[in-house]
Structure 1
Amino acid sequence: MSGKLIVVSNRIPTAATPAGGLVYALHETLRKTGGIWVGSDPEFHASPSRSLTEIGDQSAYRRLAFGLTELDHQTFYLGFANSVLWPVCHRRGDLVRMSRRFEQGYRRVNKRLAQQIFEVAKVDDTIWVHDYHFFPLASELRKLGFEGKIGFFLHIPFPALGDLGALPLEASLARWLADYDLVGLQTRADVARCLEMFRSELGAELMNDGKIKYGDQTVGVRSFPIGIDVDTFVATAKRPMADAKLAADLSGDIVIGVDRLDYSKGLPNRFRAFGRYLETRTDKSRRASLLQIAPPTREEVTAYQDIRHELEELAGRLNGENAELDWTPLRYIHRNIDRNLLAKLYRIARVGLVTPFADGMNLVAKEYIAAQDPNDPGVLVLSRMAGAAEDMTQALLVNPYDIEEMSEALTQALNMPLQERQDRYEACMAQVKATDVGRWSENYLSALKDSRRKLSWDSFSSTG
């Protein structure tokens, strides 16, 4: 790849060596290739006209931060990105909060960021843009005259055609995405939805090589299932838990769920399904416990306040009806837990309960499998709506809207014989290894390098 790599994401890592799947993968990619990471820094507030600001001390690559004013935060981030695009992509059009101020703020930040990136980008540089915050960024860069490679990766589900009608007319995903060279999506189903969107557009044509012709340019659309840093996560999970008392306290039938507190994660139904399991279990002396870790997110948005209140009410009712003096069936933790501790919690849990209503991939599913002891693995209960379910077919797949089915899956998982648990684990682990996050970034960047945006005479002849 000629030139340097410029990665653009909503947030920029501030630690010298970031932790976490995606952040770690991008860090490792930039550490090997060199380049620039552009993102917002919550500690950095800038005036709208200010250039990108260098932060941190990283010799392998540069970190450049863009600032968000309070108005930007309210309109661009909380507004259009998370009160319009997020619910549209997660099939919750009923939660869309429309405001002209939101749309204006979204466009303003993307336009300003494009100008800031244009100041540091050279024509032979490659720009890799991440997620729904920056759908129009390529269009703004093209307006400024940038002709280099620009790739886009969407980490959340691609919206269904019917849900796109909730967007303002000027917010055209087809037009915005056509200005990228390559659009990367999580699953084959996402690719199908994206192609359906383009087919509905006048002037868009599906070419013989699978790319989309739109106006005088082409855009590639492919799935690149994201994964985790498998070797590192396995090694972390194997280490013994430092807190012996905690380890003893968590012995027994632990069912674990780890999700940001978001309405797309299906947490109320998960609580109800666990409650139903407790009601219907034949052996009342068996005391399974659900450990649900749900860190807060976007608490300023009304929909997130509503789900927090609903979960607190459900947790209180479930424990009140089922708890004993020496047993709390539901442990609900509404804060972040250290990632290294999470790996160990996954390992001791007999069941991983991952039941979102909609999810781009869901790395918790892959983390849970990677953390298991191959000789005595736990069982993954996985929503069919999660992107991970497309390939991890040997998990116990469930409908997250069906309380009875999830309850029955819990019973099946907790009673599953060792050989079946091992067989299912091995099949799922093969998929986890096949989508290692390092391989994901290499595959995407290789495809982006080979992509082309402008049409040639060969392109016209290939369509017949």
Structure 2
Amino acid sequence: MSRLVTVSNRVALPSQLQAAQGGLAVGLRSALEESGGMWFGWDGGVDERIDGLRQPRVQTANGVRYATLRLSRLEYDRYYLGYANQVLWPLFHYRMSFVHCRRERIEGYWEVNRLFAEHLPPLLEGDEIIWVHDYHFIPLGQLLREQGVEAPIGFFLHTPFPPWDVFRALPGHEPLLEALCRYDLVGFQTRIDRDNFLDCLTHYRPQLQRPRAEVFPISIDVDQVAREAQRGYNSQQGRRLQQSLRDRRLMIGVDRLDYSKGLRNRFEAYEALLEQHSEHRGDVVFLQIAPVSRGDVPEYEEIRQYLEYLAGHINGRFAEYDWVPLRYLNRGFHRSNILGFLARSDVGLITPMRDGMNLVAKEFVAAQDPGDPGALVLSRYAGAAEELDGAVLVNPYDVDQMVDAMHQALTMPLGERRERWQQMMDALRRQDVHRWRKDFIQALHDAHRARGSEAL
């Protein structure tokens, strides 16, 4: 069996794996341990003293090597804070007004990709497959080929991929398209994302040799999520939550604090729900967990301030001396506690304006009690909506529709909730995280062999 080498912007180090809430860490850990592979990327640190010369830090746990590099302040500002978070992230989420592209950011992005392309080959042993993850490392495959790496190299995009009219607005988009074509396989979350990519190639250079492009919707380990949810349900934090509710019903949202997650419209819809359906006042608590991320980006500080205003406004308008309608928390929790909170919830609110997949939606379903499951309100612009059609699907731009969906979820009969939940669980079991990983790796082997045959 070939060793799996995964490359991602952030590496979930051994000490962080149990608490990691991201789908990437959970999805790749078992695959790496199974093949004795390596995880390569940035350690999340910034070193003011870096002068350009550095070596990866390597550690081993459970048969997996973790190799990480640290960035300089300038690299962090240009590659991560600048290009990744203020150019590619908003672009790929169709938020063009938030794109702030500068030449030095483009250059910084390519320089960091070159840095990682130079340091990975010495760590290879000769029988690997390389799986590159997400928009931070689009050029990496091309740069590894230039370093002489002949191993199969695949790329998976966790975010959406925009249509041609959006993508071509990016200065310097041409080298990114050409770099994607140097991979043997490019994977996307949904058919729309794959088709957008192929359409971009058609408009840009129809004769450009295309990589194999396929859809691989990322998922979860259903049984593992259910087990962790039960532990979280029975934990001290889970019991505290239940005691604080005093038999009230719980609606929950779990998102990074990000303008793409639709939190502003979600808060406004909840206010309208309490206004239009007075029967829910005093009976429902909305818990929104939104850990702060990318606090150095001005747009993130703006959305944080506005959500704090909205939360105060809603609570000031509707709260009673023994009931606070909205609990808004800007902090993270251990993964098992989050899953326990999901398990105790009557309604899950997952309403991003656009999302590659959104694993919280799938975790909400897997965490539910089969005998009395909660209802899921899900944005139709989340990738998960293609599989979870048992959810109450909404347009997150339509606040009135979201109000109706919340009310429908809160009043849904038990029989309907069970039927919808079973429909979604069946989909999760057909396409779990192990199927996602195995399908991608098999397709990568096939694509690499096919490219080799074409070159003969």
Please give the TM-score of this superposition, normalised by the length of structure 1.
0.92
Q: Which runs of 5+ in 2 are unaligned?
A: none
Instruction: Name the aligned partner's letter for residue 24 of structure 1.
Output: V
Tell me the equivalent position of 1:248: 243
- Is the 1:219–1:453 Cα contact (8 Å) retained in structure 2? no
Inter-CA distance 285–10: structure 2 relative to 1 (3 Å threshold): closer
Partner of 2:161: 158
Residue-by-residue CA offset, 1:256-285 (whole Å, 9 max, x unaligned): 000000000000000000000000005265
**Mean CA deviation greater in 451-460 or 233-242:** 451-460
Correspondences of 1:359-398 after superposition (within 5 Å)? 359-398=355-394
Q: For each residue in 1:410-436, what CA deviation from the matched residue of structure 2 results, as whole angstroms up to 9, or x when unmatched?
A: 111100100000000001111222222
* Count of equivalent residues: 447
Q: CA 1:256–1:457 in 2, change beyond 3 Å: closer, same or farther?
A: closer
Q: Distance in 2 between matches of 1:424 and 1:434?
A: 16
1:383-423 CA-partner distances (Å, limit 9, x unpaired): 00000001111100000000100001111110010000000
Conservation of the 8 A alpha-carbon contact between 2:45 and 2:71: no
Query: 2:215 is matched with which residue?
Result: 223
Correspondence 1:269 to 2:265? yes
- Alignment correspondent of 1:211: none
Percent identity, please.
43
- Residue equivalent to 2:413: 417
Q: Structure 1: state its 5+ residue gaps.
A: 205-213
2:9 paired residue number: 10
Task: Write out aligned runs for 1:56-455 (5 A).
Answer: 57-169=60-172, 171-204=174-207, 214-215=208-209, 218-239=210-231, 240-243=234-237, 244-250=239-245, 251-283=247-279, 286-452=282-448, 455=451
- What is the distance in 2 between the residues matched to 1:458 and 1:127? 20
TM-fit CA distance, 1:53: 2.0
Using a 3 Å threshold, how does the CA distance of structure 1 residues 457 and 36 change in structure 2: closer, same or farther?
Answer: closer
- Residue 31 of structure 1 pairs with residue 27 of structure 2: no
CA distance in 2 between partners of 1:227 and 1:170 (Å): 29
Q: Is the 8 A contact 1:49 1:112 kept in 2?
A: no
Structure-2 change in CA distance of 1:355 and 1:457 (3 Å): closer
Partner Cα separation in structure 2 for residue 187 and residue 115 of structure 1: 32
Q: How far apart are the structure 2 equivalents of 1:304 and 1:458?
A: 47
The structural deviation recorded for 1:140 is: 0.8
Matched position secondary structure for 1:380: strand
Letter in 2 for 1:246: L
The amino acid that maps onto 2:426 is A
How far does the alpha carbon of each residue in 1:150-178 deviate from its partner, in whole angstroms, 9 at most, with x for none? Answer: 00011111122111123113553320110
TM-score computed with the length of structure 2 as normaliser: 0.94
More helix by share: 2
Q: 1:200 to 1:380 in 2, by over 3 A?
A: same
Q: Secondary structure at the match of 1:278?
A: helix
Q: Equivalent residue for 1:209?
A: none
